[in-house]
Structure 1
């Protein structure tokens, strides 16, 4: 049946789709998103643009270069998907005189003398340097405003056409950054890594299986089963209409390694029963009948660890949790449903090989168990001290994330964004919404403009905002025009001048490439760009901003609110502690209820949680030591690691319950459990650790940290299960010895 389903999937296979939607990282269940959506409807999406810098040495003021650059800009304007382009080449400034209004070019290169005059004038205008051209004057900026909320497919086509224009232009020195480039390159990297890690996972699995069992079919059968489980899981996601995204890169590796751990439990038990003298059919039946329930429970807890992410309010985490949880269940169905039938098709394990293998493990496990029992107090004290120290260090962790969190700093895309941070004041959009207060009805009231000017000054000083556009800049621009284009008149106009320019304000809005105020002039925006300093600094600046607004801005004149895509991403990072607590809390509760119901005890669930909670604190301490911050990328590690790590504890406890119910004394039951499950626990843990460990080769920050930190968590969990858990079970016996334990 399983093979039949797989064949159907291959015949009617869904089309693989990769996507990277920037807005999937926004927290959904808060009024900030709704406010931004309303803001976007009134003004525009704040990140639908590309920044293109064209360079020339010694500077851009060369007529041949400017001619070539102008042709590039004109060609860009004709591309489908480009709404308009803005640069110093095409900006005209109005000049109002008694003879009427005329327009003059900011940069005129029609003759050598005109170019010289323009260069001299531009050098004196502080509003142009850093906005339209770099401080060194080697680059000038073309802002390409693309179609609002452009789709990934349309963005890829448009970006490809832009590159064609640049390649044909002959200009070699250029830099480009923006959403449609970032989305395209993220998806390309995702596609490459998806295939890379899928192949690497299967190579690792083949190596581990051959190392453990040294039989060719013991490699072929698990690889076939795991491949089918992965096919089922990815098909379900694609059929549900969910494209593969940044998190999906890890899906094949996670499913393959989780499935392999289960396969190793079954195959070890099968081989052990063959060693006891059972024939192939009986050994297969008994191995699966004894382990189906524990494997089902462990897969359920693993799936639960992922599924708790569904209760976060960040779409990329929600769907990663949901489809990975479904994938784990489908993988377990493949392992449980297909493996027994496939084992029947091949010869049984050789008894001699099984004996040799067991003999090598049992002395080590006996020695280990004796040491654990002898040094119980020392073990408990060590774990207590190490955990308290880790809790202290984890409290020092910063919550901090960046827009390009997942990319390595040395990637070309990261370098491009850094270029614009250094040369043009940043690439991160900053938006501040303005709403007139109860005493006014127009953002161009002079008292309101004075309040806005104070906010601009704060934003430039504390947020590092440059390229500012606002009602204040509009008023200053028109005041300069009314004074014959005199640069000294780029200041707020007097009340009388402001009143005279009101007809020009509406005309400016009709011709401006940037929408700065609403049609009724009751709302406005302060829009600019800044470097990405991270959400940790942004949160501190936000607190200062709110204090500044409360103390310095008259709320009856103006109401102010931060908004924008960057602000929403920062909120998602800062809310990560709440998301983390929610996910882990749900996981703890469900596992505690499950263990309590299974073993009919209220104390046992608490003790079972201890060796699975301790590794989380230790990982948090390690994060502080290596300088890793808590963010959306690293928050998922804790819930996922808990869900996977608890599997070995449940295997241990299931075997302990079985041994005790056979009438064995409690301490002897612990010993038998330790000796019989110890090998499988160690092997499955090492497989999981090495499997997640290969993710450290990823170029994505989120994938790298998932690999590194989950591997550490599983290693710490292995130590806790093999060293601390038996001590806790001895303690439990002392507490409960006066009554029935199970």
Structure 2
């Protein structure tokens, strides 16, 4: 009852603002004095702003240097044998990375008029700038006559009537195109355009894809057929466009959210500038440094803008709030902002440090992309800390005017803050009333959620990297449904010394691998030089190598390079698989690799490897996600120890564990309920959110440290720290969540997941701060005091 009366008394009056920002009773700073960096700019604010202006100009030039990494393989880019092998195949057989897939579908596809227009489309597509060749159903040939090259399957003038119907049946049964370029039911046709490699990596790609779309619309506009584009170049362009568009949305939304919340809360433009502009300048400076450091924007780095915003805005709000209360108490602006830096600054340093540890934890990933994200995040965290510590007090002493009038006005008109303080006091009273009960309850809840979290399975799909509101994903889905899949899987065959492409042993090896891949469940649309050999044997009755050589020599170079390396020392057998979860593709890859052992034994000296982006993703995604998840578990311990050392307190170390873990396991449970599993975006979001979510915990513990002293009970200290810090913690959490939730506007599924999950984790962290940290901290403080005095209180009789 005593603690409740104390709490009621506290929120019935306005707490002395001077108490809120009084210097810490402890002589040792939890930031080891680093917060005093913030006092430097206060001594020469005008000079500091001039230096800032010069840095902003440099940052603008740095931002212009930022490029976009739109490679679909970026997530798996690493210094592993599998990835180096994949890169080698891509270099020697440049096809998949440069293929645009034109998907035309409709029940009337093979009607005479539509077929004529489809042929016109294929002819016109060959004239598009950057197209070096194509494959379509019109590439098919008739059975060759002895001594002659085979004639085209499609005559110059299509037959009519009954002859046309018979001709269409012939087309649908053609071994070369059936199930590969034309679906079994004759309702979907695939045209494969091979682009010049220079076009794909150049800004001209957008113009080339635009031309292809225009030709499609012109030639097929009145046919009633659906027409869509897919393939790696199209996906890369859509990723590039989405990254550029998202960057604009994040910047604008972040700026508006920060300014709006600051102006509503502080109700003065000067304080809005003091609170909101340092985070905005932190974004600008961080992106500039990333540009000068040659970082490229990608699916993860694109979220750096809202991350910088939430990291820096949280602490700038805390500093501004503290200085504002000091001004209301009647102090001059120099003293107010100086004390804000000295009292709140150490917690700001520590919150940025824990966020930095989260980014450091990402360095344990095998993915170059995720490690790069971690490096960029760590760099941005350091810049954000310096921006907040230096700019908030500098802007404060420059912009705040007429402190006395401000103090008189807000002493009687600060209803918003008082309402939040009354709410915080109401929560604190109930939490400290039964700390043991709520601590045990929190332990049980977190333990139960952790069990559910542990059951999450890794998941990965290529489509998660690609905008799902554009054509590429839809077109790939149609290929999955009608032509066994859009994602290639390759078997690389390298010849031993002394063997050539046309030697009997080599041809026998290729034939064995081709047959094995065809028979593998889940793999279809298989192509290799064996496809040509079989066709010649069946249609022309030719089995001799000379005929095979002749046909290979007349095939366009870009087609030959799909299956035969330029030096003719290696070939690939290429198939396609649907874009399913990696857990479904992995058994196919592993079974195929095991089945290849029999061929390796029968043909010693020939090196065979299952590769391709689908194989790389299936093999590596689960282990990479699990490794990140294990890193997060280790991070729990490291961060707790780090905070304990900073506060020089075992009590603090244990107090921050449950509230730190709660948002992670609760978010994981939500993923489990939604059937999402653990994806790259979700585990990275939880790793980063853990570090960011501890911001409220650290600021509260820092305040509690100041409130704890001789003659002050644990309950009273917890309640007073809650009332003093609570309003700013609530508002900053709103800023954190708003800053991250803007990613739901992204066209990239992975970024949408990252955004809403991070925002949810932020809110969960606030809940943990109020409902878990308060009673846990009080129980631990009480227990520690009893332990120190060597007595254990007996239960009341």
**Normalised-by-shorter TM-score class:** 0.7 to 0.9
Q: 1:285-330 CA distances to partner (integer Å, 9 max, x unpaired)?
A: 2112222221122122223323432442323322222223322322
SS of the counterpart of 2:139? Answer: coil
Partner of 1:490: none
Partner of 2:537: 479
- C-alpha distance 470-380 of structure 1, shift in aligned 2 (>3 A): same
Q: 1:126-147 CA distances to partner (integer Å, 9 max, x unpaired)?
A: 5522322233434432211123
1:232 deviation in Å?
A: 0.8
Q: 1:351-410 CA distances to partner (integer Å, 9 max, x unpaired)?
A: 453564454344433332231123333323332332233223223323222112045655
Equivalent residue in structure 2 for 1:334, among 379, 382, 387 = 387
1:102 deviation in Å?
A: 2.9
Equivalent residue in structure 2 for 1:103, among 139, 150, 153 = 150
Structure 1 residue ranges without an equivalent (≥5): 484-496
Partner of 1:377: 436
Partner of 1:698: 746
Equivalent residue in structure 1 for 2:407, among 340, 350, 359 = 350
**TM-score after normalising by structure 1:** 0.88
Equivalent residue in structure 2 for 1:420, among 459, 479, 482 = 479
CA contact (8 A) 2:741 2:759 kept: yes
CA contact (8 A) 1:576 1:631 kept: no
CA contact (8 A) 2:271 2:400 kept: no
Q: How do 1:554-703 and structure 2 match up within 5 A? A: 554=601, 560-581=608-629, 583-584=631-632, 587-588=635-636, 590-601=638-649, 604-660=652-708, 664-703=712-751
SS of the counterpart of 1:144? Answer: strand
CA contact (8 A) 2:172 2:186 kept: no
CA contact (8 A) 1:56 1:65 kept: no
Q: Which moved more, 1:197-206 or 1:701-710?
A: 197-206
Q: Are 2:200 and 1:200 aligned?
A: no
Partner of 1:491: none
Equivalent residue in structure 2 for 1:161, among 211, 225, 249 = 211
Q: In structure 2, what is the Cα distance between the partners aligned to 1:707 and 1:12?
A: 28
C-alpha root-mean-square deviation of aligned residues, in Å? 3.3
CA contact (8 A) 1:437 1:555 kept: no
CA contact (8 A) 1:59 1:137 kept: yes
1:469 deviation in Å?
A: 0.7
- C-alpha distance 379-541 of structure 1, shift in aligned 2 (>3 A): farther
- The structure with higher relative contact order (CA 8 Å, sep 6+) is 2
Q: In structure 1, what is the Cα distance between the partners aligned to 2:516 and 2:600?
A: 8
- C-alpha distance 361-469 of structure 1, shift in aligned 2 (>3 A): closer
- C-alpha distance 31-207 of structure 1, shift in aligned 2 (>3 A): same
Equivalent residue in structure 1 for 2:587, among 524, 529, 540 = 540
Q: In structure 1, what is the Cα distance between the partners aligned to 2:105 and 2:719?
A: 73
Q: Are 2:481 and 1:455 aligned?
A: no
Q: Which moved more, 1:297-306 or 1:510-519?
A: 510-519
**TM-score after normalising by structure 2:** 0.82
CA contact (8 A) 1:6 1:231 kept: no
Q: Are 2:757 and 1:729 aligned?
A: no
Q: In structure 2, what is the Cα distance between the partners aligned to 1:693 and 1:38?
A: 40
Q: Are 2:490 and 1:431 aligned?
A: yes
Structure 2 residue ranges without an equivalent (≥5): 1-47, 791-797
Q: In structure 2, what is the Cα distance between the partners aligned to 1:698 and 1:154?
A: 24
Equivalent residue in structure 2 for 1:469, among 516, 524, 527 = 527
- C-alpha distance 617-203 of structure 1, shift in aligned 2 (>3 A): same
SS of the counterpart of 2:150? Answer: strand
Q: 1:528-569 CA distances to partner (integer Å, 9 max, x unpaired)?
A: 223211212112333443454457974656764320122223
Q: Which moved more, 1:551-560 or 1:613-622?
A: 551-560
Q: How do 1:39-438 and structure 2 match up within 5 A? A: 39-54=89-104, 58-60=108-110, 62=112, 65-93=114-142, 95=144, 97=146, 100-112=147-159, 118-148=167-197, 150-169=200-219, 171-172=221-222, 173=225, 174-344=227-397, 345-347=399-401, 348=403, 349-354=406-411, 356-357=414-415, 359-407=418-466, 409-434=468-493
- C-alpha distance 368-140 of structure 1, shift in aligned 2 (>3 A): closer
Q: In structure 2, what is the Cα distance between the partners aligned to 1:680 and 1:405?
A: 37
CA contact (8 A) 2:528 2:572 kept: yes
- C-alpha distance 96-735 of structure 1, shift in aligned 2 (>3 A): farther
SS of the counterpart of 1:47? Answer: helix
- C-alpha distance 279-7 of structure 1, shift in aligned 2 (>3 A): same
- C-alpha distance 680-572 of structure 1, shift in aligned 2 (>3 A): farther
Q: In structure 1, what is the Cα distance between the partners aligned to 2:566 and 2:746?
A: 49
- C-alpha distance 518-508 of structure 1, shift in aligned 2 (>3 A): farther
CA contact (8 A) 1:576 1:635 kept: no
CA contact (8 A) 1:53 1:140 kept: yes
Q: Are 2:552 and 1:505 aligned?
A: no
1:650 deviation in Å?
A: 1.6
- C-alpha distance 611-171 of structure 1, shift in aligned 2 (>3 A): same
SS of the counterpart of 1:112? Answer: coil
- C-alpha distance 353-308 of structure 1, shift in aligned 2 (>3 A): same
CA contact (8 A) 1:433 1:525 kept: yes
CA contact (8 A) 2:514 2:526 kept: no
Equivalent residue in structure 2 for 1:713, among 754, 758, 761 = 761
Q: In structure 2, what is the Cα distance between the partners aligned to 1:602 and 1:443?
A: 74
CA contact (8 A) 1:309 1:317 kept: yes
CA contact (8 A) 1:616 1:713 kept: yes
- C-alpha distance 668-59 of structure 1, shift in aligned 2 (>3 A): closer
- C-alpha distance 683-227 of structure 1, shift in aligned 2 (>3 A): closer
Q: In structure 2, what is the Cα distance between the partners aligned to 1:144 and 1:694?
A: 37
1:453 deviation in Å?
A: 4.9
Q: Which moved more, 1:660-669 or 1:178-187?
A: 660-669
SS of the counterpart of 1:105? Answer: coil
Q: Which moved more, 1:551-560 or 1:466-475?
A: 551-560
1:255 deviation in Å?
A: 2.0
CA contact (8 A) 1:613 1:642 kept: yes
1:184 deviation in Å?
A: 1.5
SS of the counterpart of 1:405? Answer: helix
1:166 deviation in Å?
A: 3.2
- C-alpha distance 453-142 of structure 1, shift in aligned 2 (>3 A): closer
SS of the counterpart of 1:710? Answer: helix
CA contact (8 A) 1:296 1:332 kept: yes
1:28 deviation in Å?
A: 0.5
Partner of 1:5: 54
Q: In structure 1, what is the Cα distance between the partners aligned to 2:659 and 2:322?
A: 25
- C-alpha distance 269-565 of structure 1, shift in aligned 2 (>3 A): same
